[in-house]
Amino acid sequence: MSEIHHECGVAAVCHLPGAPISDLCPDGPEYASRLLPRMLLDLQNRGQLSAGITTYNPKRKQLIDTYKELGSVSEVFRLSHRERCEQLMQEYAGHAGIGHVRYATCGKEDRSYAQPFESHHLVKRKWFSFGFNGQLANYTALRDDLLSAGDHHLARETDTEIIMHLIGRELSGDRNPTLIELIRNIGTQFDGAYSLVYINARGEVLVARDPLGIKPLCYAFDGSLFAAASESVALLNLGFDPEEIKSLAPGHAITIVDGKFEIQQFVEAPRRAHCFFEWIYFANVASTLDERSVYLSRTALGVELAKLEAADGRIDYNDGNTIVVPVPDTSKAAADSMAYELGIPSREGLIRNRYSGRTFIEGGSDRRKKAETKYTPLREVLEGKRVFLVEDSIVRSTTMQVLLKRIKKLGGAKEIHVRVACPPIMAPCFYGIDMPTVDDLFAPKFLKGGPLTDGVQAAMAKKLDCDSLHYLPVESIARAINLPSIDLCQACITGNYPTDRGQELYQIDLEESGKPNTVRRAYERTRVVAAS
């Protein structure tokens, strides 16, 4: 499912001043920043366009200093070039820092949009840097409010710059809010999703999660070393005990001020709305988010697929000539589980070329060409077989159509039955996932506002040129993740958004559906319409 991507991932680290040296930071507190590239590597799945860090060191003239570039974490931090990497680690050494990996759902694909965003100031408490994972659905209202006050100008079309200026406004003049007051004052203005990491030139650190908990955020603290990241795997691989790794509660923030570690609630959390896509696709399969294992959730999706298949009963999968094939890599757990439940083999019939490039950056035919080189069918596995092809989801259908043609032509499969470990994607995301407009989605053209029936799925299968197609029903998701559906954001599969502005944007997108429009992404289209 290389057709959708997450906006980014965040990380933070701080060795408390005066605390004993942590075993996880053996080089000493001033080198805690060395841990950031390692953490970002484990978050690379969340963003491959750029990477960056900001570190704090009171012995430098640049008390906080930011390094960021376009490219993967390995490219940006020169991890394959020992001398250059060591030079960077020495130059940006510090006992505290924040990090970020980015994929562009908002703004342009150039260095000026790379995070963290640093804002210089003569006054240390006003000199800060921050990184942000998410998207603000009320971007246009916040933007217009900023631009309406005096001779103001925004250099970038991104909600990250909006947040930077809102922080700056809270710190302006004689205002001197605590970090909790700061996040409370700006957070109550947001409609949307955010996990935020922040550091200032006093070495004070703030980590905060939105009141709905849409985006994941995990932390660990061993008494000396504090670390936070979008996913638990980044903390586990640093060496933290699994019992020390926890999910930050929605509407809560962690502050480190004057060497004191505190967790406080900064805004009321009326409900939960965890993004279900984290468990079925985005997150590393080794992660645990909000006390729910990503791997176990995906295997549970496979069980749901198997139950659906057994209940359908129209395919004789016990003929000895049927196999399950996952679309690498995130559907493997679901595919293996489905195969186990049905008692048929799961085979690696598609081999992914991990060095084929980022297909989501190119548009149109370029994306199709990239998809053709990304997966190689194994004829030795597929020839003459009835194939259950298990996929995470179908968004635009570009990749799926390419795969099906290659499996038939190059793989020689006798039949292909697509099984999707997700309900149909029928609405855009306004909370930080790069999903296109309703017009660009595959499923709405067939659903037309109605239910998912056998006839609808048959029409979809005909369009894709496969023998059959089955999606999971919406209720399967909550069962697989083991959370009540009310605690999940499932807007992209139900059209019901957890925030008021998200629902408004969806209605605008529906109204604009079918009209000529050159805007590719839903939030860009709705912003233009909402501002006009």
Residue pair 267/191 in contact (Cβ under 8 Å)? The answer is no
What lies within 8 Å, CB to CB, of 532 at 6+ separation is none
Residue pair 465/397 in contact (Cβ under 8 Å)? The answer is no
| Residues with a known catalytic role | 8
CA-wise closest residue to 94 among 57, 67, 131, 123:
57
Residue pair 420/393 in contact (Cβ under 8 Å)? The answer is yes
Coil, strand, or helix at residue 377?
Answer: strand
Distance CA 488, CA 482 (A): 10
User: CA angle, 434 as apex, 431 and 440 as ends, to 5°?
Assistant: 115
User: In 250-385, where does DSSP find H-type helix?
Assistant: 277, 294-312, 332-342, 364-374, 379-382
Distance CA 203, CA 124 (A): 9
What lies within 8 Å, CB to CB, of 26 at 6+ separation is none
The distance in angstroms from the start CA to the end CA of the chain is: 34
Residue with tokens 């809560």: 252
